[in-house]
Amino acid sequence: MDAKEIIARRVAREIRPGMLVNLGIGLPSLVANYVPGDSGVYFQAENGVIGLGARPPEGMAEPNLTDAGGGFVTAVPGAASIDSAMSFGLIRGGHLDMTVLGGLQVDARGYLANWTVPGRMVPGMGGAMDLVVGARRVVVAMLHTAKGECKIVPECTLPLTAERRVSLIVTELAVIEPTEAGLVLRERGPGISVDEIRAATEAPLHVAGDVPEMELGA
Amino acid sequence: MDAKEIIARRVAREIRPGMLVNLGIGLPSLVANYVPGDSGVYFQAENGVIGLGARPPEGMAEPNLTDAGGGFVTAVPGAASIDSAMSFGLIRGGHLDMTVLGGLQVDARGYLANWTVPGRMVPGMGGAMDLVVGARRVVVAMLHTAKGECKIVPECTLPLTAERRVSLIVTELAVIEPTEAGLVLRERGPGISVDEIRAATEAPLHVAGDVPEMELGA
Amino acid sequence: MKTAIRPEVAAEMIGEGSTLLVGGFMGVGSPLRLIEAIRNRGTGGLTIVCNDLCTPDRAVGTLVVSGQVRRAIVSHIGLNPVAQKKMMAGEMEIELVPQGTLVERIRAGGYGLGGVLTATGLGTPVEEGKQVVEVDGRRYLLERPIRGDFALLASHHADYAGNLAYVLTAHNFNPIMALAATTVIAEAEHIVPVGMIPPDAVKTPGVLVDHLLGRA
Amino acid sequence: MKTAIRPEVAAEMIGEGSTLLVGGFMGVGSPLRLIEAIRNRGTGGLTIVCNDLCTPDRAVGTLVVSGQVRRAIVSHIGLNPVAQKKMMAGEMEIELVPQGTLVERIRAGGYGLGGVLTATGLGTPVEEGKQVVEVDGRRYLLERPIRGDFALLASHHADYAGNLAYVLTAHNFNPIMALAATTVIAEAEHIVPVGMIPPDAVKTPGVLVDHLLGRA
């Protein structure tokens, strides 16, 4: 199982039946693959649909039904079309149960930076800032390191996405919960020891008692 | 022709083809009777319809289609249902070409009071404040006097509906335009002299040149 | 999937002193069976947020007559003389709000906005006690968001996913209130299977609705 | 009643330096024929307000490549490397706005509100230079309304009264932009006779639309 699959499988277990969930582009979008089809979960795409379905079969794409990345999708029975105002009303008004987003850095305060590397990558924040401010739970799904550098740092050096403490960080090495008191190590990746996680993490980690290994489902 | 018909007929002549117009309850609602059916005017009711039509024939009322007074109405072809947010977005965003409202008092500044007599009549402002603030043109349609007291006064003694100068005052005696310089008498009622209007009006009136008699149409 | 419940079961959820956002304009688009159940149960001390207090014999007007309403936030009470009398007598607290401001305040509550900046009410009694904010040299009243414990909605169609579709002037405050309460209960004229309401006809997505009232 | 006009006639109305609100999300729900006509005409110095700058070969992205855009107010430019390059080189001014804030700012412009109070952007570069307003002990950014000289919309259906109906994810910014510009031009996939779009399916009332583009 590769690192991304570990992360996607573990994040999927955070999703409860009936939730309204927004998945970011890239790694977070893989999470949908591990959510049971009969769970009554509704996926929202911020461009305006609740009840996002799978990619359409070859030749059956509808040009007016895409996800936030612009890719063709389908919709489940009971789906709803919404305009951008309603879409972000749902996000900002606390109606979105969970968002899963990628990260460039998360710091000891639980603050996320995930939208820009000044001078190098300035794509715009899209809906990321709204999602982090407004979603009930913000789960960061990311690799533990990028180009050898740890992404979990004492304090973000990149511009923040929001001043909000995210709910959970899931990497291939660890599940970490940001709390008032700092980052708490909750689970270990498959076959990874607490010491290995500490060694790979720049930010201080609190460890209380036994740290179980992630459960990743069937 | 009674006083109310004079007023309604004169106000109707302010309405141009293709306008979006909101008529208040009572006297203002009579104006619709004198707007040609083929004028392409759309009437808005603030409870949520654009393209308000006449009262339905006996036995053909639809309980979910009423005007802002709660009376059954019909809708013209090309009508649109809107929710209250859009309805007041149209009003407050300057999309309503004209509103015709009743008045308790209008003063020399052109300010309108039309929603409350403290201690005696406190029905609530409904949409009146929004209409006066937001409509492009605000036409006040009212009798010149009430219980022997002139309704056009130096300064409103009743609470204002808005700080905005209304566009035009139409009574059975006169058409008066509030301007930066004060109230200007534009037209006389049928068979009424300038002196009679002055005598009946508490607020100072500017009169420049000849004042024509109202045209009331066929 | 929502399970349809009986009106009296819905009424039991609503505790004394709750704040209720109630859809409808002079009773059109109001959840009449739900309101009747609340009146039958007699729950008191309610705060009602609604466009108006209707007439004494209809919709939220009946809750005023029965003495269950402690406070109302509305734009109009002109056709409910009982409400006017109770207000004058100090038996009921009534906050009168311009209609456009009322719907925007509820929207702000539901959309996570900090408030509404509006010119409506400036220079009138509505301005009293409120913060005035200047933007680009123009003055605006800062009006606070409104949220409720419950939103009680009426729609024409619902499906069992909770999606709602409204008709004609029965939309009014319903689609806005759907976002502004902790618990949302919807009463539909017709409930249809999931998939029967086209996505483009849905005006309140089912994810916002907690409970549906079963057919009459 | 609206008279349908040709795209090149619509493009002639748009002067140098105009501010255009353009519907669409990555080109979905964008008025493609209208944009093509503007590109063919070559009108320069434009300010584009849109969710994104699409890709260099599509929708508003093409106007960036042709050098007609002086300034853009958008939430995302990540898939238009030409725009990124021009921004870095200082050839184009780009204001990046959080998507939810962008749509609310346009709505405020169209709905006559003084601004938007939002927590989005606090503690980030978005906060720079902006007024912070405190409401009930919580801080909000005051974001200014946005209006355009023209709104360029795309819809699925239109009737000759100007009523518009959208489908699926092609709604996006269109219904909001319809209120926020001096002149509104709509390009529909299908134009139908008045009365063919049911009142409840209309999402942009025809009174807001000034011109319709004729069929392709």
User: Nearest CA to C83 among C59, C56, C58?
Assistant: C56
Q: What is the pLDDT of residues B138-178, one digit of tens each?
A: 999 999 999 999 999 999 999 999 999 999 999 999 999 99
User: C25 and C169 in contact (C-beta within 8 Å)?
Assistant: yes
Grouping H, G, I as helix, E, B as strand and the rest as coil, residue B8 is: helix
Choose the closest CB to A126 out of D27, D76, D123: D76
User: Does the pLDDT of residue A35 top 70, yes or no?
Assistant: yes
Q: Do the domain assignments include residue D57?
A: yes
What number is the ipTM of this complex? 0.97
Q: What is the CATH number of the domain that holds B85?
A: 3.40.1080.10
* Tokens coding A2: 């590769």
Q: What is the token pair recorded at C199? A: 């996505």
- List subunits contacting chain B, requiring 3 or more Cβ pairs under 8 Å: C, D
Nearest to A82 by CA among D168, D8, D140: D168
Q: Measured between beta carbons, which residues in chain C are less than 8 angstroms from residue B52? A: none
Q: Which residue has 């508003």 as its token pair?
A: D60
Residues C142 and A96: their CA atoms lie apart, in Å, by 27
* Residue D197 falls inside a structural domain: yes
Residues 6+ apart with CB under 8 A from A113: A103, A104, A105, A106, A107, A156, A157, A158, A159, A160, A161
H or E element in which residue B134 lies: helix B128-134
Residue contact B40–D206, C-beta within 8 A: no
Q: How confident is chain B (218 residues) per 10-residue block, as mean pLDDT?
A: 96 96 94 90 96 94 94 96 98 98 98 94 94 98 96 98 98 98 98 97 94 90
Rounded Cα gap, residues B32 and B15, in angstroms: 10
* Tokens representing residue D172 in the block: 């996006």
Structural domains of chain B, count: 1
Q: Pairing state of beta strands C138-143 and C164-165? A: unpaired
**Best of A52, A82, A132, A164 to mutate (most C CBs within 10 Å, chain C):** A82
State whether residue C190 sits within 8 Å of chain D by CB: no
Is D104 within 8 Å of A88 when comparing Cβ atoms? Answer: yes
| Chain C residue with minimum CA distance to D131 | C135
pLDDT value of residue D3: 84
Is C49 domain-assigned?
A: yes
Is position C120 within any domain? no
Tell me the chain A residues in contact with residue D27 when contact means C-beta distances shorter than 8 Å: 70
Q: What is the mean pLDDT of residues A42-48?
A: 96
Once rounded to an integer, what is the mean pLDDT over residues D41-53?
98
pLDDT at C52: 98
Q: Which of C118, C124, C168 sits opposite B159 (nearest CB)?
A: C124
Summarised one tens digit per residue, pLDDT across range B112-126 is 999 999 988 889 999
Average pLDDT over residues D23-30: 98
pTM: 0.98
pLDDT in tens, D142-189: 999 999 999 999 999 999 999 999 999 999 999 999 999 999 999 999
Tokens (6 digits) for B179: 């301007």
| Average pLDDT score over chain D | 97
Nearest to C114 among D114, D140, D165 (CB): D140
- B141 is a domain residue: yes
Enumerate the H helices of chain A as residue ranges: 3-12, 84-92, 128-134, 194-200
- Nearest chain B residue to C25 by CA: give it: B47
Residue numbers of chain C with a pLDDT score lower than 70: none
Let me know if residue C110 belongs to a domain: no
User: Could you tell me if B125 and B133 are in contact, meaning their C-beta atoms sit under 8 angstroms apart?
Assistant: no
Give the model's pLDDT for residue D30: 98
What are the Cα distances from residue B189, in Å, to B179, B183, B193, D106?
20, 16, 8, 45
User: How high does pLDDT run on average in chain A?
Assistant: 96
Give, as one character, the DSSP assignment of residue B136: S
Residue B186 maps to a domain: yes
* Residues C100 and B88 sit within 8 Å (Cβ to Cβ): yes
Instruction: Indicate if the pLDDT at residue A218 is higher than 80.
Output: no
| C111 domain-assigned | no
Instruction: Specify the CATH number for the domain of residue C31.
Output: 3.40.1080.10
Q: Which residues sit opposite A99 in a β-bridge?
A: A22, A138
The 10 Å CB-count burial string (b at 16+, else e) for A147-181 is eeeebbbeebebbbbbbbbbbbbbbbbbbbbbeee
Residue D133 vs residues B203, C115, C135, C147, D122: alpha-carbon distances, Å: 42, 10, 12, 20, 11
Please identify every residue of A annotated as catalytic: 46
The parent domain of residue C185 ranges over 4-99+145-213
- In terms of residue numbers, what domain contains A111? 3-206
8 Å CB contact of B95 and D208? yes
- For the stretch D68-119, pLDDT in tens is 999 999 999 999 999 999 999 999 999 999 999 999 999 999 999 999 999 9
The shortest CB-CB distance from D199 to any of B42, B80, B133 is to B80
Partner-chain residue, chosen from C77, C121, C122, that has the shortest CB–CB distance to B124: C77
State phi, psi for C157 to the nearest 5 degrees.
-115, 145
Q: What is the mean pLDDT of residues A169-197?
A: 98
Q: How far apart are CA B8 and CA B54, in angstroms?
A: 16
| pLDDT tens digits for range A118-145 | 988 889 999 999 999 999 999 999 999 9
Please report, rounded to a whole number, the percentage of residues in chain D having pLDDT higher than 90: 97
For chains B and D, count residue pairs whose Cβ atoms are closer than 8 Å: 55
- Assigned domain for D46 exists: yes
Chain A: residues touching D (Cβ < 8 Å): 45-49, 62-66, 68-70, 75, 81-85, 88, 91-92, 122-130, 133-134, 159-163
Instruction: Verify whether the Cβ–Cβ distance B62 to C124 is below 8 Å.
Output: no
**Which pLDDT score is estimated for A81?**
98
Q: What are phi and psi of D209, to 5 degrees?
A: -100, 130
Interface test with chain A among D22, D84, D122, D168, by most A beta carbons within 10 Å: D168
User: Scanning the structure block, which residue is given the tokens 């002079």?
Assistant: C26
HEC string of chain C?
CCCEECHHHHHHHCCCCCEEEECCECCECCCHHHHHHHHHHCCCCEEEECCECCCCCCCHHHHHHCCCEEEEEECECCCCHHHHHHHHCCCCEEEECCHHHHHHHHHHHHHCCCCEEECCCCCCHHHCCCCEEEECCEEEEEECCCCEEEEEEEEEEEECCCCEECCHHHCECHHHHCCCEEEEEEEEEEEECCCCCCHHHCCECHHHCCEEECCC
Say whether D207 and B90 touch across the interface (CB within 8 A): yes
Please answer yes or no on whether C76 and B134 come within 8 Å at the CB atom: no
The reply to whether A211 falls in a domain is: no
Under an 8 A CB cutoff, do D172 and A91 touch? Answer: no
Does residue D94 sit within a domain?
yes
To the nearest whole percent, how much of chain A has pLDDT over 90? 92
Mutating which of D99, D176, D177 best tests the A interface, going by the most A Cβ atoms within 10 A? D99
Give how many domains chain C has, as a whole number. 1
- For residue B186, count CB atoms less than 10 angstroms from its CB and return exposed for 0-12, middle for 13-18, buried for 19 or more: middle
Using a CB-CB cut-off of 8 Å, the residues of chain A touching D203 are 83
Instruction: Compute the distance between CA of residue A195 and CA of residue A190 in angstroms, rounded to an integer.
Output: 14
Residue B68 lies inside a defined structural domain of this protein: yes
